[in-house]
Structure 1
Amino acid sequence: MRPEAGLAGMNDWYDELTVQIIERVCSPTANTVDIGAGGGDILAHLLRAAPRGRHFAVEPLPELADRLDREFPGVTVVRAAASDRTGRDGFVHVLSNPGYSGLRRRPYDRENETLEDIVVDTVRLDEVVPADVRVDLIKIDVEGGEVVALRGAAELLRRCRPVVVFEHGGDRTMREYGTTSADLWALLVTELDYGLHTLPGWLERSPALDAGDFAAALREQWYFVADQRGQAW
C-alpha cells in the first residue's frame, strides 16, 4: 500500500520496492549497473542479491565515488556522469542536498539550496560495459537526466534486455536537458520495445502501462520499471 508520509515516506517506499525488484530479478550471478550510485545504499542490495555477479557503479561526485571505492572494492566504479556522449560537461553539485545533483539544474523542493558548479567526465554506458558482459538489471537515479543516460545505453538495452528501475519526475525535472516524458516513451517503448510499469504494478505482474496510463501515473509517481514486453520474473 502506498504510504501517506510525504516525500520522505514515498522515497523510503520506493527504496523498499526497488529492493523487492532486485531480489526477484537478480540471481547470485547477475550483473548490474547502478547509475547515480550515490552513497551505495541500493548498490549494497545489488551485491547482497548477486554476490558472484559483476557490478558497475556510475557516480560523478568525487567524494561519493571515493566512498564507493572504499566500501565496495569488488565493484567497477565509474567516476563520471552517464550521458549520451563521452567527454566533459558542467555538473551542478547540490552541496546542501547531494542527491539532487545532476548535469543540469532541476527544480528543488527546498528554497535556497547551496549549489556548486563543477566539471565532470561523461560516459556512454555502451562504452563502459564490455560487450561480453550480460547485464540483468540497471538502476537509474540522475535527477532529470534519464533520457540522455538511456540514449547512451541503447545498444546495451538492445543486446541484454535488462530490467531498468528508474526515477522519472516528468517534464518539469527534465526541462534543462531539453527532453520530455514523450522522449522517454519514444525511446523505451517505441524504439526499444520495452513495457513501462509502476513499481507496485510490476511486482503485481500487472500489464504494461499504455500512454494514457503512463501520463496519469506521472501525476503522483516518480519511479518506474521498464522491462522487455512479456518478461516474467
Structure 2
Amino acid sequence: MKSRLVGTWAGDVLLRFSRWRSLRSVPLGNPEAAGARANAVLADRLIAQLCPAQGRFLDVGAHIGSVFASVHRAMPGAEIIAIEADPDKAAALRARFPYCTLLEAAVGESEGSVDFFRDPGKSGFNSLAPGEGRERITVELRRLDDLLPDTRVDLIKIDVEGAELGALRGGARLIARGRPVILFESTEVGPNALGYSAEMLWQWFDRHDYGVFTPDRLAHEAPPMTSEVFVDSHEYPFRTLNYFAVPMEQRQAIRDRARKILGVEAR
C-alpha cells in the first residue's frame, strides 16, 4: 500500500503525518530515540529541496522511490536518475515514474555478477551482505563511474545497507566531476560483512575534501564532524542514521540554502 502512494498527493500527506506522529511519540515511547528521529525528519526535508531547480539528482538504492519522488515534487525541473538492484523493485519504479531514468544494478568498487540478498519481510534491508532468512539472487554489480561516465550530478542520496563506501569508491570520478552534496546512511561501526567501517567511510570523505554533518547541524556554523565524533555517533543511543557530506568549498552556500529550507537562523 505504501509503495502505491509514493509520489501522490495522498502519499505526501501520509508521509507528513507519519513524521509528526513519530516525533510526538518520542516522549512517551523511547526518549533516547529523539535525536535520531528528529534528524531523520530533517534529512527528508533537506534532501527534497537541496537540489538546484534545474539540477540533477542521483538516488542510489531507490527502494520504493519515496526520496526521488519528494525531490521531483519540490523541484519538478530537476532531472532524476535512480539506481536499484532488486529487479522487481526496478521494474515497478520504471513503470510508475516515467520521469525517472532507472538503472538496474547494484553498485560497488568493481564490476561483474554478484550475490544480492533480499529480505522477504523488510525489503528496505536488501543488501549485498548475507543475512539470516534472506533470499539470494544474482545481479549485476556496476561502478558508478561506468554507469554514468559523463554525467554531472548536483545531489546524491546513497542508502545501500552497508555498501556505501563501495559505491563511493566506484564513483570517485563522478563525484569529482560535479562535487555534489551527498546524503548517506551509516549505521555500523564495523568492519561489516563487506569489510567496510565507519572510520573508513569518514576517511574517504576527508581525503576528498568533504565535511560530514548531521542533518541538524547543516544549517548552522558547526564545524564538520571529526573521525572520533562520527564513529561515536554510531553508538547507541544513535545521534542519527543519516549524514550529509558537503564539499568544503561549498560549505557556506549549502549552509545558507539549508537555513532557507528549514526557516531557521544561524547559531
Is 1:160 aligned with 2:185?
A: no
Does structure 1 conserve the Cα–Cα contact (< 8 Å) formed by 2:189 and 2:231? no
SS at match of 1:27: coil
Corresponding residue number in structure 2 for 1:114: 133
Q: Do the aligned partners of residues 215 and 9 (structure 1) sit closer, same or farther apart at CA in structure 2, a change above 3 Å counting?
A: closer
Corresponding residue number in structure 1 for 2:227: 211
Does structure 2 conserve the Cα–Cα contact (< 8 Å) formed by 1:27 and 1:49? no
* Distance in structure 2 (CA, Å) of the matches to 1:74 and 1:138: 17
Corresponding residue number in structure 2 for 1:86: 111
Identity %: 31
Greater shift, 207-216 or 11-20, is seen at 11-20
Corresponding residue to 2:160 among 133, 142, 162: 142
Is 1:179 aligned with 2:204?
A: no
Does structure 2 conserve the Cα–Cα contact (< 8 Å) formed by 1:26 and 1:49? no
User: What displacement does 1:204 show?
Assistant: 3.3
Alignment TM-score, normalising by the size of structure 1: 0.87
Alignment TM-score, normalising by the size of structure 2: 0.76
* Distance in structure 2 (CA, Å) of the matches to 1:99 and 1:22: 19
* Distance in structure 2 (CA, Å) of the matches to 1:123 and 1:148: 10
Amino acid at match of 1:64: K
User: What displacement does 1:53 show?
Assistant: 2.3
Is 1:128 aligned with 2:132?
A: no
Greater shift, 57-66 or 6-15, is seen at 6-15
Q: Kindly report the root-mean-square deviation, in angstroms, between the aligned alpha carbons of the 2 structures.
A: 2.3
User: Deviations 1:12-31 (Å, cap 9, x if unpaired)?
Assistant: 64553223222442122110
* Distance in structure 2 (CA, Å) of the matches to 1:56 and 1:9: 32
| Structure 1: runs of 5+ lacking an equivalent | 107-112
User: What displacement does 1:216 show?
Assistant: 2.3
Greater shift, 15-24 or 89-98, is seen at 15-24
Structure showing greater Rg: 2
User: What displacement does 1:203 show?
Assistant: 3.2
Corresponding residue number in structure 2 for 1:76: 101
SS at match of 2:93: helix
Corresponding residue number in structure 2 for 1:53: 78
Does structure 1 conserve the Cα–Cα contact (< 8 Å) formed by 2:116 and 2:139? yes
User: What displacement does 1:211 show?
Assistant: 1.7
Corresponding residue number in structure 2 for 1:199: 215
Amino acid at match of 1:114: G
* Distance in structure 1 (CA, Å) of the matches to 2:134 and 2:39: 26
Equivalenced residue count is 223
SS at match of 1:203: coil
User: Deviations 1:27-78 (Å, cap 9, x if unpaired)?
Assistant: 2211011011000010101212332222211101111101110111121111
* Distance in structure 2 (CA, Å) of the matches to 1:41 and 1:84: 26
* Distance in structure 2 (CA, Å) of the matches to 1:8 and 1:94: 25
Corresponding residue number in structure 1 for 2:187: 169
* Distance in structure 2 (CA, Å) of the matches to 1:229 and 1:89: 35
Does structure 1 conserve the Cα–Cα contact (< 8 Å) formed by 2:49 and 2:75? no
SS at match of 1:57: strand
SS at match of 2:193: helix
Corresponding residue number in structure 1 for 2:62: 37
* Distance in structure 1 (CA, Å) of the matches to 2:96 and 2:50: 24
Does structure 2 conserve the Cα–Cα contact (< 8 Å) formed by 1:96 and 1:114? no
Amino acid at match of 1:215: V
